[in-house]
Amino acid sequence: MRIGLVTEGGYPYASGDGTLWCERLVRGLGQHEFDLYALSRSRRQEEDGWVPLPRQVGRVRTAPLWGTEDTGARHGRRARRRFAEYYGELAAVLCATGTAGQTGRAGQTGRVGRTGRAGQGAPAAWGARGGRAVWAGQDGTGPAGRSDDEADRFAYALYGLAELARDTGGGLAGALRSESAVRALEHACRAPGAHREAREARVPDLLGVAVHLEHALRPLTLDWYGDDGLGAADLCHTAGGGTAALPGLLARHFCDVPLLVTEYGAPLRAHHLAATAARTAPAVRSLLAAFHARLAAEVYRQAAVITHGNAHTRRWQERCGADRARLRTVPPGMDATPFAEAGEAGGGAGASGARGVGGTGGSGGAGARTRAHGADTLVWTGRVEPAKDLVSLLHAFAEVRWEHPGARLRIVATAAPDGHEAADYLAHCKALAAQLFPYEAEGPHTVGENPVAFEEVGGPEVPALADAYASGAVVVLSSVVEGFPSGLVEAMFSGCATVSTDVGAVVEVIGGTGLVVPPRNPRALGEACVALLRDPERRARLGAAARARALELFTVERNIAAFHSIYLEVVSRCPVRRVVLDDSGAPLPFAAPAESHLAGPPGFPGPPDRRTGPATRHPGTAAPGPSVAAPARTAPSWAAAAPGRTPTRRPATEAAR
C-alpha cells in the first residue's frame, strides 16, 4: 500500500524529534511505499539536510513552519467575506466559556462575532453548497444557524478556511496575519460570554495570538491534498498530533483518506509547559491552549486509529476526547543490539555478587566486568536537568553510604548540558556532591577520591552507553517528570536490576522486574538501593526478568510488526474509494489493481521507482546527502492503464450518486 507519512520537525531531517523511530519504521516496512510530507521548524534544520532515504520512499515534500510567508495574493470581496466568517467563528470558539450557545457564529451574512440564540431545531450536520462547507439541519435542506456543539463549530471554521485556501490557490498566509484577523480576535474577546482571560486581552496579546495561529494553520495553505499528493495515499500516518496532524485532517476531509495518528508524548501537555516556561501572558496562554485543545479533539474525532506509547499519553488522549475503541498501545521500538553483550553476560558488574567478571573481560567493551567496586556501584544515566532530580539522588546516596560504606555512585550524562539552566544545575549538583561526600582515602599513603563521579558518554571511562550499564550493580532513575523512560529500557536490555521513581510510564515499563519508590523521597530511594546492594541473588533474578520483558515488548521488530498490523486493519476497514473514468466518462474498473502495490516474490516486478525524479522541496531546504540511485523498476503490463485512455479521479460528489 502507499503510506503518506507526515512529520513535524523530524524525519527525514537529520536533526529533530522522532527521526529515529520514523526511519526505523520506513526501513522496516519495505513491502510498502512511503511518501514523506515534512514540516520543518527552523532554517537550521533545513540546512542540516536529510538522512539517507531507503528505496521504498517515493517522494519527499517539505514546507516550513518558521519565518513569514506572504504570497502577496489579493482577495476579492467574496473571499474576504468568507474569511471573516470562518476566522470569526474560530475566534468565537476559542473565546467561549465552554457553555453552548453563549457565543456563536453570525448567519450567512458574513458579519463576524455577532451573538445570538442557538438553533432550537434538530442537531446540525455537515453539508456542501457550491464547494463550501455549510451547516445544515438534520434533513440537510438548509442552514440551521449555529450549533450547540463547539467541536462542530471549530470544525466548521477549520475546514472552511481550508476550502477557502484551496479556492484561492493557497494565498491565505497574509490574511491570517492581517488586521482583519486581529479585529476578529478582538471582537470575539469583547463579545458577551467570553471567558475572563480573553476579556483581559490587549492588542499586543492579540497580535501574538494571530502570529501563532498563522504558523499553526500554515498547513491549510499547502498544495498537498490533491491526486498528486496525500489524495493518492491509501493511508495517512501522522507522526504526532497538533499541527503535524493537520495535513492528515485535510486529506481526510478532501479525499477521504483514512488517518492514523501516533503520539509518543502529549502535545497538549508540551504546549502548556512551553507556554509556562516562556512566561506568556495569561490571555495569550488561554487562547492558544483553547486552540490546541480543540484541534486535538478534532484530530481524535476524525482518526481511524490513535496509537500511544504508554498509559500516561493514553490518559491525555482520553481527556481530550479520544474514543477508547480507537486507541492502541504501541511501545516505542528500541535497538537492543548495543546492549546484547552486557545482557547476555548476566547483567551489571555486581549482578552475580563478588564474582564481578563477565565473559569477555578487558576494560573497553560492554562485557567488561572488572571495574573497581563494580558490585557496590550505583549508576545513573540521562540528560542532566532539574526534572531528573539529581539532588534527591545525592541525598539518597548519603543514606546508602551510611548503611553501605563502600558504595559508589556514577552519574553518566548522555549529552552535554543544553542551555545555561542545565549547566548551572550540573554545577550545583557537583558542589552538593563535594559538600556531602568529602574526598576519602583508604589509608594514610593513598590519594583520596570522591565516591560520586560525574562522567559523560564518549569519555575515557565510558566509551559507550553500554559500558555504563555494565559497570554497575544497580541502575537508578530519580526523575520527578518522565514520559517514556528510554534509559530504563536500555538498563533492562543490559540485564540490570533497577530502582525507579513512580513517574510517567515507569510502572508500565518496569512491570514487576524492578523496585519502584515515590518521587522526591530520598530515604525510600536509598533504602531500595541498599536492599539490592545487599542481595546479589535478587539482583540477578530481577535483571534476568527485566531483560526478558524488554526483549518481548520494546524491540524495534515488535514496533514494526504492530504498525504493519494496524496499517492492514485501517485499510481493510476504511478503504479509499476511487472511481476512475476513461476519456468518454465511463467507469474504468481495475485501472489501478491492488496487486500493483503488493510486494511479490524475488524477481517479481514491483511498483515503479518514483525516486528517479527530483524530490519536491521548499526552496530553503538543503538537498539530501549523496546516495546510490536504486535501479529503476517498472510495473507489470497488466497494472498499467489501457492505451489511449486518460484515467482521472472522479469527484467525491459524483461518486456518491
Q: Of 321, 287, 176, 299, whose CA–CA distance to 243 is shortest? A: 299
The residues that bridge with 129 in the sheet, in sequence order, are 132
**For residues 273 and 633, what is the distance between their CA atoms, to the nearest angstrom?**
48
What mean pLDDT is reported for the chain?
Answer: 79
Please give the pLDDT value at position 415: 87
pLDDT > 60? residue 375? yes
CA angle 119–121–126, rounded 5-degree value:
80
Q: Does domain 337-554 have CATH number 1.10.3720.10?
A: no
**For residues 427 and 420, what is the distance between their CA atoms, to the nearest angstrom?**
11
Q: What percent of the chain clears pLDDT 70, i.e. is strictly above it?
A: 75
pLDDT > 50? residue 12? yes
* Residue, of 417 and 38, whose pLDDT is higher: 38
pLDDT > 80? residue 148? no
pLDDT > 50? residue 227? yes
DSSP-based three-state secondary structure for 35: strand
Q: Of 313, 173, 301, whose CA–CA distance to 240 is shortest? A: 313
Report helix angle 203-216 to 282-302, nearest 10.
30
130-134, 302-306, 463-467, 498-502 — which is least confidently predicted? 130-134
Please give the pLDDT value at position 559: 94
User: Which part of the chain is CATH 3.40.50.2000?
Assistant: 1-67+224-333+555-576+616-636, 337-554
Please give the pLDDT value at position 520: 95
pLDDT > 80? residue 97? no
On whether the CB atoms of residues 473 and 349 are closer than 8 A, the answer is yes
Cβ-proximal residues to 396 (8 Å cutoff; 6+ apart), any chain: 478, 522, 523, 525, 526, 529
CATH number of the 1-67+224-333+555-576+616-636 domain: 3.40.50.2000
227-236, 339-348, 405-414 — which is least confidently predicted? 339-348
On whether the CB atoms of residues 235 and 241 are closer than 8 A, the answer is no
- The confidence band for 19, taking pLDDT boundaries of 50, 70 and 90, is confident
- The confidence band for 482, taking pLDDT boundaries of 50, 70 and 90, is confident
Query: What average pLDDT score do residues 463-478 get?
Result: 93
Report the predicted TM-score, pTM, of the whole model to 2 decimal places.
0.77
* Residue, of 340 and 640, whose pLDDT is higher: 340
Q: Strand 305-308 and strand 452-456: pairing? A: unpaired
- The confidence band for 153, taking pLDDT boundaries of 50, 70 and 90, is very high
- The confidence band for 267, taking pLDDT boundaries of 50, 70 and 90, is confident
Give residue-wise pLDDT tens across range 291-345. Answer: 999 999 999 999 999 999 988 899 989 998 899 999 999 998 999 999 988 877 7
Task: Give the cell for residue 521.
Answer: 523521597
- The confidence band for 349, taking pLDDT boundaries of 50, 70 and 90, is very low
pLDDT > 50? residue 142? no
Q: How many CB atoms lie within 10 A of CB 491?
A: 35
On whether the CB atoms of residues 539 and 350 are closer than 8 A, the answer is yes
* Residue, of 276 and 77, whose pLDDT is higher: 77
User: Distance of CA 283 to CAs 196, 200, 377, Å?
Assistant: 9, 6, 50
**For residues 88 and 416, what is the distance between their CA atoms, to the nearest angstrom?**
47
Phi, psi of 51 (to 5 degrees): -80, 160
Please give the pLDDT value at position 447: 62
Q: What percent of the chain clears pLDDT 90, i.e. is strictly above it?
A: 53
pLDDT > 80? residue 417? yes
Please give the pLDDT value at position 478: 96
Residue with cell 531528573: 388
